[in-house]
Structures are given as C-alpha cells and as structure tokens.
Amino acid sequence: MNIRAQKAFEYLYDEGDIDIILLGYILGLVSSDESDVSYEKSDDRRLEDAIKVIKYLVSTNDFEVGRTVVDGRGNFQYEAFNDIEEFVEIAQKNFEKGGIDDIELITETWLRKSCKGSRPKNIPKYIQSIFE
C-alpha cells in the first residue's frame, strides 16, 4: 500500500465528516507530497489525476459532488450533482478558461461525504500511483 495515498484518503474521509472538500484541495493533494515536494506533473495531468481521485471516491458511494452557487441575495447555496460528468464538465470549462489557478476551478466545485463515519476502502493501484 502506498503510504502517501493511504494518508491522503484518511484525511479526505476525516475532512469529509466535517465539511465539503474543494476541488482546489484535491488538486494540491495530487500535485505534491506531504513535504510539499512537487510530483512534477503538468497542469493537465494534475487536473486529470484530481478527477480520477474524485471519480473513484464517488464510485465508493461515500461521496457526492456538487458546486457552490450564489443566489440573488448573495447567499451561498450548495448544489449536488446527480451525475459526475456534470462536475467534470464544469471543472474542465473552468480549467480551459483560467488554467490551474482559476479561482472558480479551485472553489466552485466540491466533494461532500454522503456516508458520514465511513472509512477508506482498499485503494486501487491505479489511484495509488497518482501519489508517487
């Protein structure tokens, strides 16, 4: 088992019990190790890896995806998606518009734990390899 992947997933599960997890945070997880040493990935690869992690987490049924919208009174609303592809489409649109540092890419879309208290399952090798 890849220790970095295990720690990252334990953190995501713990954080998910408390709050939503912004796409920007997951982009950071797949970009560098816990000592902030870069994995030397292109921006395209970072987004691709973050989406792989999110798709895997959603496939476990422990998480769901959505986005934050502002209503007419300036209040934040959290809108869950029924389909992961809607999440991917918005993330890719924001990436194409502003690159990896686009504020909407980082903050608009999120992951929310739907099964509070659940723990990470066995992480598949294709996901573990993202953290090497």
* Residue 34 pLDDT: 79
Q: 132 in a domain, yes or no?
A: no
Q: In what order do the strands lie in the sheet with 63-70?
A: 21-22, 109-113, 63-70, 76-80
Average pLDDT of span 115-129? 92
Q: 90 in a domain, yes or no?
A: yes
- Number of folded domains that form the chain: 1
Answering whether pTM is above 0.95, one says no
Q: 54 in a domain, yes or no?
A: yes
Tokens of 59: 């496939």
Distance of CA 129 to the CA centre of its chain: 16
Q: 123 in a domain, yes or no?
A: no
> In this structure, are residues 40 and 72 in contact, taking their beta carbons and an 8 Å threshold?
no
Nearest to 78 by CA among 94, 67, 65, 64: 67
Q: 125 in a domain, yes or no?
A: no
Q: 121 in a domain, yes or no?
A: no
1 pLDDT more than 80: no
Q: 78 in a domain, yes or no?
A: yes
Which domain covers residue 73, as residue numbers? 3-116
**Alpha carbon distance 70, 76 (integer Å):** 5
Query: Which CATH number is 65's domain given?
Result: 1.10.3510
